[in-house]
Amino acid sequence: MFNPAGGFATTKTLDFFIDNSLYNTTTCETNQNIVLPDTPPEKPGYNFAGWRAIKYTPVEYLENSGTQYIDTGFKPNQNSGIDIDFFSNRTQGSIIGSVCDTANQYAYTFGIQANSTVSTTDMLIYTSKNTSRYQNYWRIENLYNNGNGRYQVQINGRTASVLASNNTTLTHTFPSDTYQIPFSLYLFASNRGTNAIISPETKIYSCKLYDNNTLVHDFIPVLDEKNIPCMYDKITHSFFYNAGTGDFIAGPTI
């Protein structure tokens, strides 16, 4: 923005939220006072106590040591989507997942995992209604490189794609199934309803979750005000903390 009186000015745009919904937007100059909305919000039964700044330090990734995972609270179905950037140093384990296991048949599955029971070079991606155990998944052969590599995986309903660290790109189309998984997606693990199958030595750089093409979570790894490693969701403007034991390992600050 050009200011005739003082040359070029650096400005900042500030968003103000009430109950996770955008209330107002203001603009101010760098190193100047924050410009607050002209009218404070009103909500029946509440007294407005003032605006609070959400403070965090972005880091390159979160890494788990084997006992940490995050409950996203999101329950996937056939129209759900994932856009995740991760590094794994394991030949078996779930990167992200939710499984409805009926009579040990994995009736409904959604997520990404490595599976050394098949091959240490294979990645499995699920988004389907299974008719029997280990059916209707996308098994990517000779890609996983013994569990060592960085991958960007996108799932959009019936379609999925993978970009590997060696610049290999693959795509796949799943069956036209209809299903709703009753368990929420776990990051760094698979939610089996009664337990979490956790994948150690996994680094997650970012993760977006979609509900019928609507972005519902946009997770980035951060340190909160107390320097606790966690995920910050840019959609709900809230922190998601470890639901297991111990602490995540934070990558370098950004």
What pLDDT, in 10s, does the model give residues 190-218?
Answer: 888 777 878 778 899 999 999 999 999 99
**Distance between CA atoms of residues 240 and 56, nearest Å:** 12
Rounded to an integer, the average pLDDT of 66-88 is: 90
| Nearest partner of 68 among 233, 230, 221, 180, judged by Cα | 230
Residues 84-93 have a mean pLDDT of 76
φ, ψ of residue 81 in degrees (nearest 5)? -145, 155
More reliable by pLDDT, 132 or 23: 23
Residue 8 or residue 50, greater confidence: 50
In whole angstroms, what is the distance from residue 33 CA to residue 96 CA? 42
Is-above-0.85 flag for pTM?
A: no
- Judging by DSSP bridges, how do beta strands 202-211 and 214-223 pair with one another? antiparallel
pLDDT of 75 reads: 92
pLDDT given at position 6: 46
Cβ proximity of 121 and 138 under 8 Å: no
Question: Among residues of the chain, what percentage have pLDDT more than 70?
Answer: 77
Residue 105 in this model has a pLDDT that exceeds 50: no
- Contact between residue 14 and residue 27 where contact means Cβ atoms under 8 Å apart: yes
Q: How far apart, in whole angstroms, are the C-alpha atoms of residue 171 and residue 164?
A: 12
Q: Which residues of 7-33 are buried (b: 16+ CB within 10 A; e: fewer)?
A: eeeeeeeeeeeeeeeeeeeeeeeeeee
As a whole number of angstroms, the distance between CA 193 and CA 170 comes to 31
* Domains of the chain with bracketed CATH: 9-53 (no CATH), 62-250 (2.60.120)
Q: Round to whole Å and give the CA distance between 78 and 108.
A: 10
Contact 96, 112 (CB under 8 A): yes
